[in-house]
């Protein structure tokens, strides 16, 4: 237990991997100990560059939510639920902690009553991690958090994106001109030039809309929408193949909204839509995106007050572990390619 909680200063990659391992349930039962994402060591964000490869961080903000709140409490309950995650992915056999040094770097110090200030704070912290060579896996919070993350990560040009959601989140304004809501992040990101719409794919979109413009604007920009009807008709393997074609092998981001999953499996979210993915289908879908050039990811919109069973947080923690596996594998493969290039 002690080796997982003390601060270390490893000098080799092997030592870093050994230092940043989850606390095993065989050492301390999973119901015991201080709660961190995946039972990983806790590290200050300022200590992360040069020390770890992947930072898991909470962004407890729902001030851009337009209807049912509660996602600000998501990171805390997902941390708790993530104690049920073990070390190796059963479906892919990926062991993320054997590939990358990972740690929980706490929560971004958001401003719960100021959206603009919170966006600045998120962008600043993600920028610091990114510039220090650390890959971020963020746990929200409502979906506005993806906007400043994309701004922070797109320092070398606009990113592609895999977006799994019930909603396109490409609306324009809400309530008389408000442009920064959980329904607008990707329109803002495209307008800012940090998200490449022609390398963006949205999977599982369904439900009602305030306006047809939400969908039409996205299509006009070149976003590939694989709505739920198309997924049902052609199948998840088709959706995976099509999404991989769109995103390609250039740097890309992965965002997963928990409301993409049917409320029968994940009711604790602010904007549930019936007819969504089962939790099993969600695992199959996410696992289909191995070996892409992913440089960051998030899982958003878990609202604990709307699900007293805690099952939504468990689903969210499970998806977060799947995303961690994707990021660890992608980062490890980049390191391998860089090493080969340096030899040549």
Which strand ranges, in their side-by-side order, compose the sheet holding 54-59?
102-107, 54-59, 135-140, 294-300, 252-257, 159-164, 195-203, 224-226
Q: Which residues pair with 160 in a beta bridge?
A: 252
Residues 95/89, Cβ–Cβ less than 8 Å: yes
pLDDT of residue 4: 43
Q: Residue 104 is part of which domain span?
A: 2-343
Percent of the chain with pLDDT over 90: 87
Alpha helices in the chain (DSSP H): 2-5, 13-19, 74-81, 96-99, 115-131, 146-153, 185-191, 213-221, 228-234, 236-247, 279-287, 311-343
CATH code at 146?
A: 3.40.800.10
Report how far apart, in Å, the C-alpha atoms of 54 and of each of 46, 103, 210, 262, 264 are: 13, 7, 38, 29, 32
Separation of alpha carbons 190 and 182, rounded Å: 15
pLDDT (tens digit, 9 = 90+) per residue, 167-224? Answer: 999 998 888 889 999 999 999 999 999 999 999 999 999 999 888 888 999 999 999 9
pLDDT (tens digit, 9 = 90+) per residue, 167-177? Answer: 999 998 888 88
Report how far apart, in Å, the C-alpha atoms of 261 and of each of 13, 82, 140, 171, 277 are: 37, 18, 16, 21, 4
Long-range contacts, 259-263 (Cβ 8 Å, 24+)? 259/165, 259/166, 259/167, 259/301, 260/164, 260/165, 260/166, 260/203, 260/204, 261/315
The answer, yes or no, to whether residue 3 has pLDDT greater than 80, is no
pLDDT (tens digit, 9 = 90+) per residue, 21-57? Answer: 999 988 999 999 999 999 999 999 999 999 999 999 9
pLDDT of residue 52: 96
Question: How many folded domains does the chain comprise?
Answer: 1
Residues 310-329, mean pLDDT to the nearest whole number: 98
Global confidence as pTM: 0.93
pLDDT (tens digit, 9 = 90+) per residue, 130-163? Answer: 999 999 999 999 999 999 999 999 999 999 999 9
Separation of alpha carbons 70 and 271, rounded Å: 11
Separation of alpha carbons 61 and 296, rounded Å: 19
pLDDT of residue 270: 96
The answer, yes or no, to whether residue 11 has pLDDT greater than 90, is no
Separation of alpha carbons 228 and 166, rounded Å: 8
The answer, yes or no, to whether residue 2 has pLDDT greater than 80, is no
């Amino acid at each position: 237990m002690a080796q997982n909680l003390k601060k270390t200063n490893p000098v080799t990659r092997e030592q870093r991997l050994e230092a940043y391992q989850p606390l095993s349930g065989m050492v301390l039962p999973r119901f015991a100990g201080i709660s961190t994402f995946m039972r990983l060591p806790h590290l200050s964000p300022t200590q992360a560059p040069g020390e770890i490869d992947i930072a898991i961080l909470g962004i407890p903000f729902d001030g851009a939510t337009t209807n049912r709140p509660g996602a600000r409490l998501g990171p805390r309950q997902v941390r708790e639920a993530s104690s049920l995650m073990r070390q190796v992915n059963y479906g892919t056999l990926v062991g993320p902690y054997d590939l990358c040094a990972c740690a929980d770097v706490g929560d971004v110090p958001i401003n719960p009553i100021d959206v603009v200030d919170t966006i600045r704070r998120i962008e600043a912290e993600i920028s610091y991690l990114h510039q220090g060579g650390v890959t971020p896996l963020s746990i929200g919070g409502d979906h506005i958090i993806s906007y400043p993350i994309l701004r922070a990560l797109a320092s070398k040009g606009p990113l592609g994106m895999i977006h799994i959601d019930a909603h396109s989140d490409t609306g324009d304004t809400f309530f008389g001109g408000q442009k920064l809501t959980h329904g607008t992040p990707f329109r803002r990101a495209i307008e800012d030039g940090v998200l490449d719409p022609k390398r963006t794919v949205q999977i599982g979109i369904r439900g009602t809309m305030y306006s047809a413009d939400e969908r039409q604007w996205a299509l006009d920009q070149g976003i590939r929408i694989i709505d739920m009807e198309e997924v049902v008709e052609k199948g998840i393997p088709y959706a995976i193949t099509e999404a991989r074609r769109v995103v390609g092998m250039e740097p890309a981001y992965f965002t997963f909204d928990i409301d993409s999953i049917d409320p029968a499996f994940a009711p604790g979210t602010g904007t549930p839509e019936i007819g969504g993915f089962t939790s099993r289908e969600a695992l199959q879908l996410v696992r289909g995106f191995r070996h892409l050039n992913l440089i960051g990811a998030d899982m958003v919109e878990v609202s604990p007050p709307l699900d007293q069973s805690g099952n939504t947080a468990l689903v969210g923690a499970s998806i977060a572990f799947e995303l961690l596996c994707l990021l660890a594998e992608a980062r490890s493969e980049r390191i391998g390619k860089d090493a080969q290039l340096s030899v040549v």
